Amino acid sequence: MEQSHPIRSAVDKVVGAVTGDGGPAEIPGVPNSAPPSLEEPTEPREPLPPKPDQSGPDTFSPTGQPTGAPQAKVAQDGAYLTTAQGLRLRDTDHSLKAGPRGPVLLQDHHLREKVMHFDHERIPERVVHARGAGAHGVFRGYGAASNITKAAFLGKDVETPVFVRFSTVIGSRGSADTVRDTRGFATKFYTSEGVFDLVGNNMPVFFIQDAIKFPDVIHAAKWHPDREIPQAQTAHDTFWDFAGLHTEATFHTLWNMSDRGIPRSYRMMEGFGVHTFRLVDAEGATTLVKFHWKPKLGVHSLVWEEAQLLGGVDPDFHRRDLADAIEAGAHPQWELGIQVFPDTPEQTFEGIDLLDSTKIVPEELAPVQRIGLLTLNANPANFFAETEQVAFHVGHLVPGIDVTDDPLLAGRLFSYLDTQITRLAGPNFAQIPINRPHAPVNDMLRDGFHQTAVHRGVAPYRPNSLDGGCPFTAGAAERAYVEVPLEVSGRKVREAPASYADHFSQARLFWLSMSPVEREHIIAAYTFELGKCYEQAVKERYLGVLANIDSVLCRQVAEGLGLPAPAASQPLADSPPSPALSQIGQTWPADGRIIGIVAGDGNGNGDGDVAALGAVRQAVLDGGLVPLIIAPTGGKLGGTLPVQRSFVTARSVEFDALLVAGAPAPGKDAYGARDAKAAGGADAPVDPRVLLLIAEVYRHGKPLGGWGTASQAFSEAGVPAQAPGVLLGDDGTSVLRETLELLGTHRVWDRFPAAASLT
């Protein structure tokens, strides 16, 4: 039987539901599960169902019991507007007044309830990781870790529902997605033994070794307290002031300055648990591990100019990308992996301190072993209820997974619950639907703000006889959580171990592991960020840090800053590179990538013929990618082919590759007073907005294909026809084939070779 492609069939399904006309599939992003009528609806009707890609949290009671209630029944219900008490209302547009021009009456309970609730719609944002996006999914264990952990959810073919939230660290809730920053990667597993949270990042190391420094690093990285600028970035004096003085941040800062700081998509990021955890098997034997998430689509990044443009053009780029991919059926996947180390008294591996979260263990020394598969398959039905109210905590553990004495982890074990009391207004946030366990809860915790469970009995204390002794404690046989009984001893001191003093050797290892083009990006990032600092002392001090990583890096950044390059203050430690740290050199699936297809007006105005365009569009869909047709105006080309972007709305940064079907003449609105991108273009041979698209795609290293008269457009845009990744052919489908091959490597890296000093 012929298998239809998941993207196609999902898109067709969505569009079938929406248009009902069996017409050509649209792109993801449809606002609701049925199209609006032109006229305002007047017939009462029940709320629309969610879109097929959306799901709320599973319906469990506040105490972890499956309720069996359909998700629709915990949402708004009924055809008529009511108060919060269920009272039907006749009017919600006018306050109750003494006559049409008279004063408003205090007795207007509806006005008071409506405004009171609105007044309290906002809640405090997270103190860090405020900006994020979430999705539902499922985790399937491979059973490969069952020899070292008794955790039930890691058993073979055990399926566990999950909720994942990705985030940036520094910016406010409304900040842009594509800023240079670490990304959070937090996963809530609703296991049969209680909730397990893996609260990680897309970088395997952290700025600090001890949680007591967390307020310092965050105060330094966030905005200046006097002006509250800049937003969501480290390119300012306080961050580099701190990072230059507190050199244990060197390695994490280097990750941030690398391409990892500007991911192409949440779907294309690795995730790391960062700390070392302790796994425990059924006999009590222990193993140390580090958790990794490996994306099926590979690790890919934006280039810096794209990231900056996107901050203005589409600040929601990453959350849109995630939601669109899920809606289109291109469900993102990661494999969970572990690096495994013997649990020795020193807690080191090959000389690397496993309790120091500023250090990695290179994958070449300890390969990542795959133990399960995560698939994100549904978008939240309500952002606030789910993504905003979800509360992760590193202390949410299950039998078989224990913590280590990493002092960074210890502080986190305190911090998450503490902050959530304020953020979620009281101690009962575990009862919010997205946080509810899928295992029975009998906790003796009582009352407090927003208590939604209706507890019975009279004896929430132990021991008791009045409630028959319930609840009872469990033994290991009943799968109780039992901490590993480790010996603890030592002097009471405020000190770090000697091994924590090495701040540079792994930063150098990372630098040496980068390809030339990745090194160029790192040099540019440091030069940009330090170049935005005001104080010369801050820049000079940081150049001293860079000198301890690598002399070429230091010299190149110093050159950009117009400052002398200092010498290293200590010998540089050379270790063999770790190829696993580089993002370049492999090929990956291009599923869900976005291809822009530039057409003319459908009347032969520089666009080839509409049937041929339709065939290319179809081939893109069949390949599991998302085509966006770009034409001078909206509407349908030739009355059949839907246009998704006009020359006014399109910007190159939305696309992973661009196909150009000819050389479209200037649109009717191509004059600068209307659209600055079109300045001087009314009489040009090709629309200037199209030339801008081509030029940007070219300099961002993306595949660029064309047919028909496209060569004319390329040459007008200053793109050499022979340049790497510029594909000119006779017809769209053959050009598309070559484009897809190139997309497997993400970008055309050899279009702009790195400087000789870096190769």
Binding site for ligand HEM (CB under 6 A): 126-129, 132, 165, 167, 184, 186, 199-201, 206, 211, 214, 274-275, 357, 390-392, 408, 411-412, 415-416, 419-420, 423
Q: Quick check: helix, strand or coil at residue 215?
A: helix
Q: Quick check: helix, strand or coil at residue 312?
A: helix
DSSP letters spanning 81-128: -B-TT--B-S-SSS--BSSTTSPBPTT-HHHHHHHHHHHT---PPPSS
Q: Indicate the helix (H) or strand (E) that contains 135.
A: strand 132-141
Q: Which of 109, 117, 120, 129 is catalytic?
A: 129
127 or 619: whose CB is closer to ligand HEM? 127
183 or 746: whose CB is closer to ligand HEM? 183
121 or 157: whose CB is closer to ligand HEM? 121
CB of 398 to ligand HEM, least distance (A): 19
CA angle 254, 581, 626 (to 5 degrees): 100
The answer to whether 201 is a known catalytic residue is: yes
CB of 151 to ligand HEM, least distance (A): 20
CB of 285 to ligand HEM, least distance (A): 26
CB of 54 to ligand HEM, least distance (A): 19
51 or 136: whose CB is closer to ligand HEM? 136
Check if the beta carbon of residue 308 is closer than 8 Å to that of residue 298. no
Q: Give residue 105's Cα distance to chain centre.
A: 49
CB of 230 to ligand HEM, least distance (A): 21
398 or 408: whose CB is closer to ligand HEM? 408
Strand partners, 658: 596, 704
DSSP letter (8 states) at residue 495 = -
211 or 590: whose CB is closer to ligand HEM? 211
Check if the beta carbon of residue 171 is closer than 8 Å to that of residue 126. no
Check if the beta carbon of residue 48 is closer than 8 Å to that of residue 31. no
Check if the beta carbon of residue 185 is closer than 8 Å to that of residue 168. no
Q: Whole-angstrom Cα distance, residue 698 to residue 690?
A: 12
In the bound complex, which residue of the shown chain has the CB atom lying closest to ligand HEM?
184
Distances (CA, A) of 67 to 59, 363, 604, 726: 6, 44, 60, 57
Q: Whole-angstrom Cα distance, residue 393 to residue 64?
A: 18
Go through 688-704 and write b for each residue having 16 or more CB atoms within 10 A of its CB, e for each that does not: bbbbbbbbbbbbbbbbb
Q: Which of 94, 110, 201, 252 is catalytic?
A: 201
Q: Which two tokens stand for residue 626?
A: 């998302």
423 or 636: whose CB is closer to ligand HEM? 423
CB of 429 to ligand HEM, least distance (A): 9
CB of 469 to ligand HEM, least distance (A): 36
Q: Whole-angstrom Cα distance, residue 331 to residue 553?
A: 39
Check if the beta carbon of residue 56 is closer than 8 Å to that of residue 385. yes
Q: Peptide bond preceding 225: is omega within 30 degrees of 0, i.e. cis?
A: no
For CA atoms 401, 403, 409, 411, the dihedral sign is: positive
29 or 124: whose CB is closer to ligand HEM? 124
DSSP letters spanning 432-445: SGGG--SS------
Which amino acid belongs to residue 86?
Answer: G
CB of 354 to ligand HEM, least distance (A): 14
Strand partners, 629: 597
Catalytic (active-site) positions: 129, 201
